[in-house]
Amino acid sequence: MNQEKIGKFIATCRKEKKITQKELAERLEVSDRTIGNWENGRNMPDYSILKELCNILDIDVNEFLSGEKIEENDIQTHSIENLDLILKEYYKMKKQKNMFKSIAIIIGIIAISLIVVFNCIFIFMGGLNKDEVITDTNKYQEVIGVNANNKYKDKWGMSEEIFPKSINELNVKDFKMVYLDAWDKQYLSYLVVDYTENEYEKEVERLNKYGIEDYTGYYGVTGFTNYKLLAMESDSYQGFVYAITDGNNRIIYVEMIFCNYFMDIKYNEHIPHEYLPDGFDATINNSYRKNL
């Protein structure tokens, strides 16, 4: 493996994410110097934090080992090449007759090989760990509500009654549904509707009757600054479904449904930040999850 190339790749990906060495070190619970040694090619990350490092940098293990971004149609080839590199490293260590290092390499081979194999399985199964994004309003009822199709229907028991049953007659300004099945199904959706004054009053009345469940404190949420909250379904484990308004006949409907106390969906890339509750943090290292 080309440690220098991998180190430069780590640095490039970190900078693209606008993360400092100190911030990355804190998230991985290592020292700043450790990050510097990786990026200078002096050392390699321990396999125990490799997956988390890849998640933060938004790369997969194959790309990490290759030291570059890989096109989807080349992933299988790179998986085989990288596994071959790992095995060569193992035999190199074995020749040194260092038993402890050999054992560590064997463990690393098993761990990294499993990750590589799972990546290949996901590819052959249709890329289960890839975001599926739907913006076609004609598919609204296929993905939202009690009549949604198959994988979009049972959203971990969370109700979508806050969302309109149909949007055929509505003035929809924006719509997006993001679906991800990375071990567990996750959903992020938002719908922006501009109502006439009479329609707006009726919809506000409907949403007020639905009510607002207690939500403050979940995932660091403190409230809403930019919009008024009209209705909220919340769950300390599964997330939120809610409706907010700007007070000028516009209502935004949002759902963020997940499990295991964090979202694999990179929600900051898919939804305008202003639609999120103040303080919301469902990243893998969120303090709410750590304090449970």
DSSP secondary structure of 8-37: HHHHHHHHHTT--HHHHHHHHT--HHHHHH
Q: Please tell me whether residues 116 and 233 are part of one structural domain.
A: no
Q: What share of the chain is helix, strand, coil (3-state, %, to 5)?
A: 45, 20, 35
pTM of the entire predicted model: 0.60
pLDDT digits (tens, 9 = 90+) for 12-47: 999 999 999 999 999 998 888 889 889 988 888 887
What is the predicted pLDDT for the residue at 184?
84
Structural contact between residues 94 and 145, judged by C-beta atoms closer than 8 angstroms: no
Give the confidence band of 2 by pLDDT, cuts at 50, 70, 90.
confident
- Between CA 154 and CA 162 the distance in angstroms is 15
Residue 81 pLDDT more than 60? no
Q: Please tell me whether residues 250 and 197 are part of one structural domain.
A: yes
Q: Please tell me whether residues 120 and 141 are part of one structural domain.
A: no
Q: Please tell me whether residues 62 and 181 are part of one structural domain.
A: no
Q: Please tell me whether residues 45 and 178 are part of one structural domain.
A: no
pLDDT digits (tens, 9 = 90+) for 165-185: 999 999 999 999 999 987 789
CATH number of the structural domain spanning residue 35: 1.10.260.40
Give the confidence band of 195 by pLDDT, cuts at 50, 70, 90.
very high
Average model confidence (pLDDT) across the chain: 85
Q: What angle do CA 240, 198, 172 make, to 5 degrees?
A: 50
Q: Please tell me whether residues 26 and 161 are part of one structural domain.
A: no
Which of the listed residues 97, 124, 151 is the one where a domain comes to its end? 124
- Between CA 3 and CA 78 the distance in angstroms is 16
Q: Which domain holds residue 38?
A: 3-124
Torsional sign, CA 127, 133, 138, 139: positive
- Between CA 228 and CA 244 the distance in angstroms is 5
Give phi and psi for 94, each to the nearest 5. -60, -40
pLDDT digits (tens, 9 = 90+) for 240-267: 999 999 999 999 999 999 988 999 999 9
What is the predicted pLDDT for the residue at 135?
97
Averaged pLDDT, 132-150: 94
Give the confidence band of 143 by pLDDT, cuts at 50, 70, 90.
very high
**For the chain, what is the radius of gyration of the CA atoms?**
23
Averaged pLDDT, 74-85: 53
What is the predicted pLDDT for the residue at 123?
47
Q: What distance lies between CA 76 and its chain's CA centroid?
A: 23
Residue 89 pLDDT more than 60? no
Number of domains in the chain: 2
